[in-house]
Every structure is written in C-alpha cells, then in structure tokens.
Amino acid sequence: MATMTLPFGTASVYERTVLELFHEAGINVNGTEVHDIQVHHPGFYRRVLAQGSLGLGESYMDGWWDCPRLDIFFTRLLRVKLEQRVTNRIGIMLAALQARLLNFQLPGLARRNVAQHYNLGNDLFISMLDKRLTYTCGYWKNATTLDEAQDAKLDLTCRKLHMKEGMKVLDIGCGWGSFAKYATEKFAVEVTGITLSEEQLQLGRELCAGLPVKLKLLDYRSVEGKFDRIVSLGMFEHVGLKNYASYFDMVHRCLKDNGLFLLHTIGSNQGSVTTDPWLDKYIFPHTLTPGLDQVIKGVRGRLLLEDLHNFGADYDKTLMAWNQNFTLHFGDLRHHYSERFTRMWQYYLLCCAGIFRARKQQLWQMVFSKGISGGYVSVR
C-alpha cells in the first residue's frame, strides 16, 4: 500500500498538503458544494495526515469539521484512492501483526465485541431500522421503501434456501429475530436462532412470542443438532479469519446431507487481515470483511459453493435509509445519547454508504451444500 511522506514544518504545510489531496477528489475546504468540508479547528490538517482514517473520524466526532453530504464526500475520496495515501502506516502494521498472532474472536472476547455495538440500546435500532428490525442489507430490485427492501431480502433468502413447511432452520446471528419471524410466518418452518447480544435476545423473544422460534444466547461453536437449512445474515464479519475453519466445521456438522446453507456477508474487493482503524475502534471491534478467496479457502473441503449473488450497491440505499430514519427520530433519543455519539453514528452510516457507492465493498449471498443430488436451482 502506497503512503505519502508526512511533511514537517509549519501548520500551513500540513494545510497545503491536505488541500492538494482533497482537490484531486474535487473537494474544497470551506467551499460551497455539498461535498465540500468546513474546517473549524486548525489542528485538523496535521491530525488527518498523522492518523489517517482514525484522525479524520475522531476529528469529525470532536466537531473539528463538518460536511453537508458526508456520503458524497467519502465516495469522492474513495474513488481516487486517497485512503491509500494518507494512513498511519505504523498503526496498520501493528494491527496486522496482532491479527496474525492473536485471536480476538474467542468465545469470551466475541461476546464483548458484540456487546460494544449491539447492546447500545434497542431504542437506537428501533428508531433506525425497518419495522422488522432487520440490520442487514436490503434488496432494492423492486422496492421503493426500506420495509419493502427488507421484506424482499428475507423472501429472497428463503426462496434461495428452497424452504418447505416443517423444515428445521438454524439462524446464526439472529439479531432481533426478523428472519426467524418472517420464515416461520411465511414458510411454516421451525427456527432456532443464536446471538451473543442480551439486548437483542430479550426483545427478539418478545417479537417472536407464540411462533415456533427458539432464540438462544449461544456462541456458534457450541451449536448442536441437525438442521435442514442454515442461514447467517450479517454475522460472518464477526467470525475472524482465524476462526473460519471452526465456523464452517460447525455448519458442516449441523447441516443435513441434503441441506442448504446461505451465507450473507459484506465482502472486500481485496482480502485483508485488518479493518479500518476508525470502524474497528468505534463501531465494529475486531471484525473483518473477507475477501472472496478467504471465504473459499475457509470452506474448502467442507462445503460446495452452489450460488454467488452480489448486490452490494443495495447497501448504499440501505444505509442512506437508516441514516434518514436516525435523523428523523433523533429528537426521541437525545436523552440517551450524547452529541459526540450522534456525530459518530451518522459518520458511520454515511461513511459506509460512500464505501459501497464507490464499490469498495460488496454484499454477497452465497449458497452452499454438501453436494445435493441433481444440482442447485439458482433464485433471483
């Protein structure tokens, strides 16, 4: 990864360097376009050059700069690959070394990682998500609203799994039970869902009351039993590269011989062992968006890839809808969340929207089997 040599000297040197870099992306400081930024603190320039994405995000949280349309700002930055030129190289090298030597997703640590994000408060997610509380990418092919897009995604997922009445289904990373509730109501199956978030579990059980749904506080490594279908929507990013083998071993062990497994995950264009420093620190600790080669290596010798569907561009629309909901309902959340948290959360949603709009990350749905007789019929 190419990095730029940081200038040393007066503050004007730092400022000039940042202005030149932003100019390459068509961004002006204190300009009038919606993607231009307004700088409020003179230390902004040095902080960004010294700390890369971490400095950019933290300085925004601290109110050092603003931008009317963060999503467009990030799309422009990423399309000219500025993130590869302004980075804390030493910090990234240390993070990569830690990722290679340590396993941050062992059972005890995994629960702590999940708690930092998913236990923030159900009121936050209720204000932001669709009516079913589906915290994964929607499918917008024929949808015009977030509710429609999430229902379409859940329906597509069930149809890809060729669900039939009476089947037993395992949902790895069940969230608030949106998939479990949809699948049992629409396809008359029985669902066992697992999560590491106590907040999700409590509300999920309330939402699925009276249905053939069992939600459990359980690590995927401890799952027992056999299932006709297994699904995982937006959980694989939390598994960690060192645990891919044990993850797919569990799926292979628990999937019936004629069963199907659907993996829904964010994917990276280029495989890595680390995530963005700001996202790692504030949003999703110790997560990894895998490269396709990393997924295939992890599943090799265990399952057969039957189908691969990329609708990553739909995550841009989903994130923008989440941000619109969060902004609309922010007044109801003020007593629970600080101004700095609010800036952090909107930065997260709009930064990620820019990432997907620039096509730097994808959303993959993969269907696997143990090699079903006669082959698999793809669904779109």
Which residues are CB-neighbours of 232 under 8 A, at least 6 positions away? 171, 172, 173, 261, 262, 263, 264, 265
Distances (CA, A) of 276 to 52, 91, 144, 182, 319: 10, 11, 31, 33, 18
Distance CA 287, CA 269 (A): 16
CA atoms within 13 A on the CB side of 311: 20
Which residues are CB-neighbours of 64 under 8 A, at least 6 positions away? 39, 40, 41, 43, 44, 47
HEC string of 85-110? Answer: CCCCHHHHHHHHHHHHHCCCCCHHHH
**Max CA-CA distance within the chain?**
71
pLDDT under 70: residue ranges of the chain? 1-11, 83-111, 113, 273-274
Which residues are CB-neighbours of 93 under 8 A, at least 6 positions away? none
| pLDDT at residue 375, as a whole number | 92
351 is catalytic: no
Distance CA 84, CA 30 (A): 24
DSSP-assigned beta bridge partners for residue 32: none
Nearest C-alpha neighbor of 320 from the set 142, 128, 148, 156: 128
Tens of pLDDT, residue by residue over 273-311, are 668 889 999 999 888 999 999 999 999 999 999 999 999
Nearest C-alpha neighbor of 227 from the set 262, 191, 248, 255: 255
Contact by Cβ (8 Å): 238, 287: yes
| pLDDT at residue 11, as a whole number | 46
List phi, psi (to 5°) of 129.
-90, -175
| pLDDT at residue 115, as a whole number | 75
Contact by Cβ (8 Å): 92, 277: yes
State how beta strands 168-172 and 255-268 pair.
Answer: unpaired
Conformation bin of residue 366: beta by default, left when phi > 0, alpha when psi is -120 to 50:
beta
| pLDDT at residue 275, as a whole number | 81
| pLDDT at residue 3, as a whole number | 39
CA atoms within 13 A on the CB side of 178: 26
Angle between helices 178-187 and 146-160 (to 10 degrees): 60
Query: Could you give the 3-state DSSP secondary structure of residue 342?
Result: helix
| pLDDT at residue 83, as a whole number | 62
Distances (CA, A) of 69 to 37, 283, 284, 354: 9, 20, 23, 10
| pLDDT at residue 5, as a whole number | 40
Tens of pLDDT, residue by residue over 71-120, are 999 999 999 877 665 554 444 444 443 444 445 566 666 667 677 788 88
Contact by Cβ (8 Å): 216, 202: no
| pLDDT at residue 86, as a whole number | 55
**pTM given for the model:** 0.90
Match 């993996």 to its residue by tokens: 263
